[in-house]
Amino acid sequence: MSKKETKQPTLLQSFIPIIFLIILLTLNVIIWGEATLDGSNQIALLLAAAVASVISIRNGGNWIDIRANIVETIGKAMPAILILLFIGALSGTWLMSGVIPVLIYYGLDVLHPSIFLFAAVFISSLVSLATGSSWSTVATIGVALLGIGNAMGINPSITAGAIISGAYFGDKMSPLSDTTNLAPAMAGTDLFTHIRYMMYTTVPTIIITFIIFLIIGFNLDIADKTVQIANVQKVISENFNLSLWLLLVPAFLIFIIVRKVMPIPAMLLGTLVGGIFGIIFQHDIVINYSGITNNYAEASYKTLIGAMYGNFQVITSDPKMNDLFKTGGMAGMLPTIWLILSAMVFGGVMEAGGMLKRILQSIMKKVNSTGSLVASTAVSCIFFNATASDQYIAIVVPGRMFADVYKDKGYKPELLSRTLEDSGTVTSVLVPWNTCGATQSRVLGVSTIDYLPYAFFNLISPIMTILFAYLNIKIRRIKDEVKTEEEK
């Protein structure tokens, strides 16, 4: 019996699942709002995968091959999934130990009225780097900074732009960020190679951002308002033992990262060291969380494990501050993992059915240089942020679409992962109907359109990555690595 011939899908057929996905994701944003990651977007991806499967089978494909490709695609994402689990655990023990609060406390000391906007970028960057979350940074310290800026008479749109610039810089560069783990997983590189390579475009961008806000700040008449900052620091000092010894925990993690320890062992070590410091320095938190007063060893074990796997929160006297001292542990990462698995199913079906290849064939007709390839990737990320209304989709779909193209053209995968972050992660907050844009606008009370012109880091990032590509600056190629090995 001869095997049924498989036809290449048409360009229209290839776009049908994507159009279907965009429609469902748009409905999800309208109906569920910021809760789309709780499950509705995952279902949308699976339904779109089903549509792609029907088209593939009608073109002569078979379910066994499609399923095999799905499994293979999910396998490629497993390292990122494991890292995400350990990131959840690490965030829990770093909160329990007081590492994150101490970073915030001393970071706030940097704030000075004469350089408020510069400091707002810096503090937001510091907090976001420590937590790996732009959302929690904006919703906590960001709200406090906006209130201070308002008291100083600064246009809230400018303050919001500074906060978002810093928050998304930290989110983009933190090994604790889910998008920072997702991008290299889609491209086929490792976390720390990705972070180090992003520095080439990200550092110039944040420096330009700092300079712009310094210039704006020096032309503002800013009064000395320090009461709000003192209150935030007071709440932190009342609830945590603020020892400078706690800074050894992030210093240790940075050290082993520099020593090129692999991501999963590094995260595990950082988690355990954070937990040990928590047991040593945060006696009251351990007792209060565990409810065990007569056996500190048992209380320590219960608190350590609880902080690693589940919801962990330190309740303060200021309800507005409570969200800052809250983490979901490993369990809090499960919706993101679910999203990744669903996205891998969608990508696996689209790849098995030849649809991604067909779309790429159309795009690649316009690509004749490194610059045009990177520009095409960046535009694709922004397109999905604007149409799919979700930054994860804006990373996953272009990442799957372009991974083989970068490899076939001889570029190392970190070029793709950097482009995904430079254009996918940071532009999500600039789209009013994107989950990021809608959430940050509501939290800060400033419309997306109003803060957009001042979110300089987010605006400059995609331009910077395209500029580096066209000027052929620090473009890593596979053949360069081969030459280095031969020289050795």
> With bands split at pLDDT 50, 70 and 90, how would you rate the model's confidence at 228?
low
What local confidence, expressed as pLDDT, does residue 401 receive?
A: 80
How far lies 391's CA from each of 82, 130, 192, 210, 421, in Å?
A: 21, 21, 21, 25, 10
* Alpha-helical regions (H) of 334-434: 334-352, 355-364, 370-387, 391-408, 413-420
Apex 220 CA angle, 215 and 224, nearest 5? 120
CA distances from 76 to 184, 341, 348, 376, 400 (A): 11, 11, 11, 24, 11
**Separation CA 204–CA 202 (nearest Å):** 6
pLDDT, tens digit (0-9, with 9 covering 90-100), for 310-367: 988 888 887 767 766 888 889 988 887 887 788 788 888 888 888 877 877 787 777 7
How many CB atoms are closer than 10 A to CB 184?
29
More confident residue, 254 or 453: 453
Tell me, what's the pLDDT at 350?
A: 86
Give residues with Cβ within 8 angstroms of 485, minimum separation 6.
Answer: none
Which has more pLDDT, 261 or 44? Answer: 44
- Using the structure block, give the residue that is written with the tokens 């290849």: 357
Q: What percent of the chain clears pLDDT 70, i.e. is strictly above it?
A: 91
The pLDDT score that the predictor gives to residue 81 is 80
Model confidence at 225: pLDDT above 60: no
Residue written as token pair 């976390």:
191
461 vs 111: which has the higher pLDDT: 461
Region 100-110: mean pLDDT is 76
Lowest mean pLDDT among 92-101, 108-117, 192-201, 232-241: 108-117
Is this structure's pTM higher than 0.75?
no
Percent of the chain with pLDDT over 90: 37
At residue 4 the predicted structure's pLDDT band, cuts being 50, 70 and 90, is low
Q: What is the pLDDT of residue 103?
A: 77
Model confidence at 468, in pLDDT bands (50, 70, 90)?
Answer: very high
pLDDT at residue 389 in the model: 63
pLDDT tens-digit readout, 377-409: 999 898 888 766 678 878 988 888 888 889 888
Q: Note the pLDDT of residue 257.
A: 66
